[in-house]
A = this chain, B = another copy of it.
C-alpha cells in the first residue's frame, strides 16, 4: 500500500487538532486500551479529551441508549477537530431514530471529523443519508491506538487524513482492471451494518458511487447473501465501482466443498455489471486507511495499482 499526499503551505497541522474519544456503541470492559490510545494520540500532537461517559457500562453497551445519545450530542456540541469512537460492537443503529442530525451536521460544518469503522458505519451512513455531510472511515481508538501493536500505516494515514495532507490512498488489486476509471461519491463501511440500514429512512441513496465494504466473522455465504440483497435492491448496479476491503476471521464449514470467498466474489461478478475490485486495506485488520465517506472521489487503476483520490 502506498500513500499519496501533498502538503498545503498553510494547512492545519495535526497539533492544531482537538480530539475527543467517545463511546457510541459497545462497552469498554477495560480502561487500559483507552488510556494507551489517549497517550499515543497525545504523543502524535492531538489535544486529547476523553468524553465523560466513555467508560460507562450498561449490559454490552457503553452506557444505555440515553447515555450514548447524550455523549454523541455532547461531542457534536463541543465540535472538536476530531471525534474518534473508542470502539464499535453494536449500538449505533439503536440511536439512529433519535439522533439530532442537524447538530451532527453543524459540527461537521465547524470542522469535526467523525472517525471510526465497523458499527460507526451506521453513524457515517446516517449522516450522509440524512444530511449529505462527510465523515471518515478509519481506525477506532481502542482497537487501533489502544493496541500494543499499533500499525504505523494506520496511524500515519489517520494523521495525514486529519491534517488535510492526505489526498489519495493507493493499493494493489487483482489483474484485469488496468485502465479502469470511475468518479463518484465514496461510501460504505461494514457490510452487515450497511445492510441493516437498507429499507430505512437513514439509508443514503447514493447513485453512481464508489461503494467500499468490509466485514468480520461472516462466512462467505453470508457476505454473498448481503451483497446479493444489495444487488436485488438495485444498489450494486447503481454504483460505478464496488471496492472490497478485508473480510476476515470467518470459519470454513465442511459443507463448503470448494465454496469460498473467492467463489462468492466470482458469483457476484456474474450478477452485477458493476466492477468489483478487491484489495482495499480496510476492515478488521491492523493496517487500514482513512477514507472520506461522502466525498467525491476518483478511482484510477494502472496495471494492478489502484488510486482513490479526493
Contact = CB atoms under 8 A, between A and B. Distances in A.
A194 B79 CA distance: 40
Interface string A165-206: 000000000000000000000000000000111111110000
A225, A228, A257, A263: residue with the most chain B Cβ atoms closer than 10 Å: A225
Main secondary structure of the interface of A (DSSP, over half): loop
Contacts of A29: 254-255, 257
A248 interface: no
B199 A229 contact: yes
A19 to B, nearest CB: 26
Nearest to A59: B259
Interface stretch (A88-96, A106-114, A274-282): A88-96
Interface residues of A, number: 39
Given A94-B228, A225-B93, A228-B93, A200 B233 contact: yes
Contacts of A256: 59-60
Interface string A254-268: 111111000100010
A255 B200 contact: no
Contacts of A57: 257
Contact of A27 (B97, B228, B255): B255
A200 B225 contact: no
A232 interface: yes
Given A97-B232, A202-B232, A221 B257 contact: no
A95 to B, nearest CB: 11
A243 B76 CA distance: 39
B89 A255 contact: yes
Contacts of A96: 232
A117 to B, nearest CB: 17
A263 B90 contact: no
Contacts of A225: 90, 93, 196
A309 B123 CA distance: 43
A242 B253 CA distance: 33
A226 B94 CA distance: 11
Nearest to A91: B221
17 contacts: A27-B255, A59-B256, A59-B257, A59-B263, A60-B253, A60-B259, A61-B259, A90-B221, A90-B224, A93-B225, A94-B267, A96-B232, A196-B226, A199-B232, A200-B229, A200-B232, A201-B232
